[in-house]
Structure 1
């Protein structure tokens, strides 16, 4: 009974805003209440569950969104975004801005949550679009596709890293990284092609307070200073992630984890950004805080609402139903990879979180590995890739990633479904096809 209820809830979430013109917050909350009631969750605890889900996701991503907005304002007001855009376009040539943004996204998406990466680079999207005379939709969707390609497939981001741990691959993370990079390449090029062909004529809602003017800074900062607010958090997060993998000294690891947390790494980047303002740095940084905080309110609300819906689903017997079905319908080989893909896609589409989908699916599949003949590290790595491919499919309005891309780009919700949601689905399909081809070639020789 719960599966059709979840399916109808997802349909309602989409139609409530696109067809019935309800505010997305209202649609998500009504869907969460409906699923909870029909699933038989205790009525006296249902609202507490919704509030807890909202708060938990906000605790994970809320400050990151706010500080990311501040960094975006710093990049804009200091002229750093213009300088970064100039350097990137010189490297790739102004003829290939979409490919440039996809590649940048893929690199940043390896150590950093795609949400964080997009927030930091959102201002860069607008600068690149203006300087190359390309549609903002094309540039933004190319960046989001590049970020997502590696975020779900390449450790040390938590999703693939957790799945690798659940499938007994903790000592083979290097192999998971290598295969993840290979599998992500087709998805990367797909995002570039899709952005160029299907995100050109989007109705971008312009921020009236964001008067982008590439000539508003008389003297641009040095290249290394311009990249610092972007690169510094990435370096700190990357070092912290690999510190865990390499099992460094415990006290050192604690400090690396502290410095590499999104909160602290973003604050450090903001602190070093004072050097971007030669005159009145404190006054200008304060103005950046004011501007950044004012621009992220709606995004925070919608992100929290998606977390509330996901929290209700976690209280239902959904996981147990899927687990029981798999135990009763054992199979082997490439079919098992496809089943892993479908299960992860179901959890992703239902509750929104890519990381949660990968953790749930890998946890369900772990007891079945020996029976399915998946014992070699290479086969298990491909299983992680299959799960990651499913966890791409699809990002819609119950996913924080959906709101970050749409709100920071200025996409209408309908256009976000037509581009962002469809692209994440296509990326998942292309990735699982790549995984299956690798599996067949490996076992053919």
Structure 2
């Protein structure tokens, strides 16, 4: 009955947003409350859980989104995004741009949460799409496939790291196996992005092309408040993006038992809040002699306005996922674990895909699946390391309206939910199947 109620609420949510044009913020909260009451939590507890999930989601992502948006606004205003776009196109070429974006996402998402990394790269992504005259979904989802591949499979990302601990697998072996599996998953996502998503043109694509067409050298010369582009300033434009990523990456490799002054300092500098604040300071250097204190206020105001809607919808998505997590449906699935174990080798993949489809969270899906599968390892006949690869691959299947990243794409690029269901949702399935194919190849080569 719990599974039936959850399935019905997910269908209702899909219909409310895609067919009845209910605003996602209202639909997520309303369906979340309805699911909580229907699953037996009661009205008061359902409201408390919704608010708790909303607060937990925003306590770390709200400020970070604004800081990331500030870096993007400064890059736009100073021409930094345009310089990075030109340099990337020159190095990769227009035909190879999706591969370059996928590889970029593969690298930067190892230490950084997917949503944060995509927000930081938003302006560059849009500039590249406009300059190369490619559609934003093709370029953006190429970046997203690299981001999500390593987020679900490569330690020290929290999900894979937690799975390694729960399954008591060898971390080094997991990294080696998942390095191959993540590339295969990324290949599946890139194939869909290149052969289908790049054909989808949004009204926002025309806005981007007009925006970046107007920000050429002549426009720069007419605007005395905007620093002039120079051949050597591309590196200055890249610093606000990559310095925070490097700081976060270094911090993630410092163990909790390291209590020395240097370790504590790096952990502090590597927290997303501090790292992105440093990124904002570095971005302000792009104003050069044209810098005014009013620049900070104006950029902050525009960033808050741009990020506010994304923050609220992301919070509503987190609230919906939180009430699902606490409704007891995971325990219901656990009760059938022994029967589902007949799937044998594919059981971790199938179970992870069920949790991702229902909760919309890669990390929650991976940790919950690992907790259920751990006691069954002996009966499944596969190693903890291969199990971790199966769980990571299954956690891609599939993202839809209960995923915070779904709504991030919706608001950042003004992509309708119906379009994202045909592009981003199907892409996540391609990634899951790509990861599964890699695991099957490894198994055929003798790995268990």
TM-score, normalization by structure 2: 0.91
The one-character-per-residue Cα deviations of 1:152-178 (angstroms, maximum 9, x if unpaired) are 111111111111111113xx3232222
How many Å separate the matches in 2 of 1:285 and 1:207?
A: 29
Q: CA deviation at 1:258?
A: 2.2
Cα distance in 2, alignment partners of residues 427 and 47 from structure 1: 35
Offset, 1:232: 0.8
| Cα offset, 1:83, TM superposition | 1.9
Gap change, CA 1:322 and 1:16, over 3 Å in 2: same
Q: Check the 8 A contact 1:74/1:285 in 2, yes or no.
A: no
- C-alpha displacement of 1:207: 9.8
Q: Who is 2:351 aligned against? A: 343
Map Cα deviations across residues 172-211 of structure 1 (whole Å, 9 max, x no partner): 3232222222111122223332222212223244697993
Q: d(CA) in 2 for partners of 1:302 and 1:158?
A: 23
Checking the alignment, whether the CA contact within 8 Å between 2:135 and 2:205 is kept in structure 1 is no
Q: Which residue of 1 aligns with 2:66?
A: 66
Query: Counterparts in 2 of 1:301-340, with a 5 A limit?
Result: 301-331=312-342, 335-340=343-348
Q: What are structure 1's unaligned runs of at least 5 residues?
A: none
Give the Å deviation of 1:329.
Answer: 4.9
TM-score, structure 1 normalization: 0.92
Residue of 367, 388, 391 corresponding to 2:392: 388
Superposition pairs for residues 91-170 of structure 1, below 5 Å? Answer: 91-169=91-169
User: Which range moves more in the overlay, 285-294 or 412-421?
Assistant: 285-294
SS at match of 1:442: coil
CA RMSD of aligned residues (A): 2.1
Q: CA deviation at 1:53?
A: 0.8
State which of 398, 402, 406 in structure 1 corresponds to 2:402: 398
Over residues 133-152 of structure 1, what are the superposed CA-to-partner deviations in whole Å (9 max), with x where a residue is unaligned? Answer: 21222111211112112111
- Establish whether residue 356 from structure 1 lines up as the match of residue 354 from structure 2: no
Per the alignment, residue 28 of structure 1 pairs with 28
Q: Deviations over 1:254-286 (max 9, x none)?
A: 433322121111001111222211123233233
Residues 135 and 202, structure 2, Cα contact 8 Å, conserved in 1: no
Q: What's the counterpart of residue 256 of structure 1?
A: 266
Count of residues in Structure 1 that have an aligned counterpart in Structure 2: 434
Q: Give the corresponding residue for 1:275.
A: 285
The aligned counterpart of 2:223 is none
2:254 partner SS:
helix
44-53 or 88-97, which deviates more: 88-97
Give the unaligned 5+ runs of structure 2.
221-227
Asked if the contact 1:140/1:409 (under 8 Å) is kept, the reply is no
